[in-house]
Amino acid sequence: MSENSTTRPEAPAEDSPFRHELYPYAGDAQFLDGAMSFIHDARAGSELVLVAVAGPKERMLRTELEGTDAAEGVTFLDTAVLGRNPGRLIPAWRDWISKATKGHPVRGISESAWSEPSAAESTEFEYHEWLLNLAFAQSPAWWLLCAYDTAALEPAAVESARRCHPMLLSDGAHGPNSAYAREPYVFPELTASADHRELPYQRGRLAAVRAHITACAGRYGLEGARLRELLIAACEVAGNSIKHGGGRGVLRTWVEGADLICEFHDAGHLQDPLVGRLRPTVDQIGGRGLWLVQQLCDLVQIRSTAQGGTTIRLHTRLPG
């Protein structure tokens, strides 16, 4: 199956209070220089700072901050706790901002913890960067600096990032980013493996969905808690197909790289591009299924149009 006509969420308004800035740097020394300048500037204005970077960068910044006045008011987020799924990042930022603001202006520094992302992970992280503009379009004013190491990343990844950030830090100067593409997001083509196993499903067939996935997982040693989490996520997606996607769908499973892929396709249409990426409220009725799916899977890919229906891919990392 090929899906290249996908959700095209509109760009946020130009007057958004959210300042989303790209920081392309080359090597650790330049990262440290830009990040520390950003932190010192924030603390001089009594702004709180959250730093979400991988372990080595965190240790570098902690060493530089040790014993300085700027250290107070700087919090570090362990991105490893969130796992490899960028679908968990927006709610993590929203949770921190809701607790931290209380009259205080805030800033953040972010960098992907992935050293060698797959093609699917790279695509979803780029989409996450684009969605940040939408997710915080109506939030309290805050400033997020997104660091990209041009010495380590593929040029295409950096160019993709340039299209997602309205602001740019370059040569020590903050300003507008001329490469920012203020237009609906367009996904690359999503193509299924030719070597997949297929199962149509409908009402009363969730047991068959579980059995199909269990059999496929067993061939690759996926069992125990991780298998149970995948089955819960799969039943949530299949149940949504039955309830909202025309009463039926098709499940396809295959292995891609180190992941077991479970892909669900139905005739429904998901209109909210942030579906599954905002924490449900206590009094919310419904809408928790895809949030749960994002918490249980290593990666979730959602593609949806009124014409082509909805495709949801669940990625689960295989043991070993």
Work out the number of other CB atoms within 10 angstroms of the CB of residue 27: 11
Helix pair 89-100, 119-135: axis angle to 10 deg: 30
Report all structural domains of the chain as residue ranges with CATH numbers, in order of start: 18-176 (3.40.50.11570), 193-317 (3.30.565.10)
Backbone torsions φ then ψ of 201, nearest 5 degrees: -140, 160
What is this structure's pTM? 0.89
At 188 the three-state DSSP class reads coil
Give the Å distances, CA to CA, from 42 to 5, 49, 225. 42, 7, 43
> Residue 131: what pLDDT?
94
The rounded average pLDDT for each run of 10 residues, N- to C-terminus, in the chain (320 residues) is: 41 71 96 96 93 92 94 86 86 85 83 83 92 89 94 92 95 94 84 90 95 97 97 97 92 96 96 91 80 96 93 95
Residue count of the chain: 320
> Residue 105: what pLDDT?
83
8 Å CB contact between 17 and 139: yes
b vs e for 259-281, b when ≥16 Cβ sit within 10 Å of the residue's Cβ?
A: bbbbbbbbebebeebebbbbebe
Instruction: Give me the residues paired with residue 191 across strands.
Output: 2
> Residue 48: what pLDDT?
92
> How far is 242 from 315, CA to CA, in rounded Å?
21
> How far is 46 from 15, CA to CA, in rounded Å?
24
Query: In this predicted model, what pLDDT tens digit does every residue of 59-111 receive, in sequence order?
Result: 999 999 999 999 989 999 877 777 789 999 999 898 888 887 676 789 999 99
> Residue 315: what pLDDT?
97
8 Å CB contact between 223 and 217: yes
Give the Å distances, CA to CA, from 314 to 30, 143, 148, 293. 37, 32, 27, 8
